[in-house]
Structure 1
């Protein structure tokens, strides 16, 4: 039970970084598109957004193996052993990929690594959705009996949040590309493109926060 307590603590920490990090990026975005600021100042805010976002990304990705691991103690997912090793290995490698993309974020290599991260989501998100829906229909791999369905629902919402996160990754990659172009020459069309993308992402962020809070609620209350 000590192991479960530590896992629960780490899960809470990751959730805090996820929710808090997204709020930090949201607030920083106002200065990123502020034309009244110098380009150097706006780039500093963009750098701040990336530094906040990498912790949120790390929290997001570690939530799955942590929850998957805790699920073995609660009996909602019966797959231990090799399944736990595979889960931790895949998501640890994914976290390392994200940090590599962050390290090289201002280069073509960083953009390439970010694209690899995005492609991985196109593979893993459908897998997570299929597993959660299949479990709710009574076919596994998770246990979704009365009083245990919260886990599969939580995983399903989590997959939806990963899709929103994927869209926001597209937005942040666009920020890097646009700022590299603006550093060469000021362009009102590019400025408008930047403002539009961030304006749209802000509306998406509200839905994102509702989803994050819903995942946290299900994990804390286990209502059904």
Structure 2
């Protein structure tokens, strides 16, 4: 294995490490945000830490495809022009910059946020179509790559569901921050987080499955 392929392999291995590690930190941090025994200041600080840590898995999700594609190309698993690989890398880096802009703007800047969401839907469809085509033999890729494409599409879909599930949380957080917690806001925060955690655990299972496939590299 030459140094460039080794570097691509190393970068691709870092994806599930930071994805699962960041998710674990956010998962644990959410327990402080939902704890009604904590002060409002403590719970708001936990929310801020959670939100920042969550950028690790969000970044990993965006980088999973370009690093995986580059590695598959370098190992000859996919037969496409190198220019396409470079274009995919540039496009995903631009998407990553957009995602970080949305984060640094604290979710503001409606245009950037809407564009980020539309990109996620486009990637979801594109990856699912490519993965299914690979599984059916319509495009020449190894079976495990077709499965991994479908897994990444499923992770994006679950991430979008997490965002939708968290919508009721924002109003409860604003109320807690301005007028103090109430039994209703606490119940909403706990309920929303419990629902989101189920979806996150499903993402963990998919990331672990994709990691195993990348190591086993079945036909």
TM-score, normalised by the number of residues in structure 2: 0.91
Tell me if structure 1 keeps the 8 A contact 2:44–2:177: no
Q: Which runs of 5+ in 2 are unaligned?
A: none
Counterparts in 2 of 1:115-194, with a 5 A limit? Answer: 115-140=114-139, 143-144=140-141, 148-171=142-165, 175-186=169-180, 187-194=182-189
Counterparts in 2 of 1:1-224, with a 5 A limit? Answer: 1-105=2-106, 108-109=108-109, 113-140=112-139, 143-144=140-141, 148-171=142-165, 175-186=169-180, 187-224=182-219
Tell me if structure 1 keeps the 8 A contact 2:166–2:196: no
Q: Offset of 1:185 from its aligned partner?
A: 2.4
Partner deviation per Cα, 1:44-80 (whole Å, 9 max, x = no partner): 0011111111122111111110000111122222113
- Distance change in 2, residues 1:180/1:112 (3 Å): farther
Q: CA RMSD in A?
A: 1.9
TM-score, normalised by the number of residues in structure 1: 0.89
Equivalent residues, number: 217
C-alpha distance in 2 between matches for 1:89 and 1:175: 34
Q: Which runs of 5+ in 1 are unaligned?
A: none
C-alpha distance in 2 between matches for 1:69 and 1:24: 29
C-alpha distance in 2 between matches for 1:123 and 1:190: 35
C-alpha distance in 2 between matches for 1:193 and 1:126: 32
- Distance change in 2, residues 1:21/1:174 (3 Å): farther
**Mean Cα deviation higher: 125-134 or 196-205:** 196-205
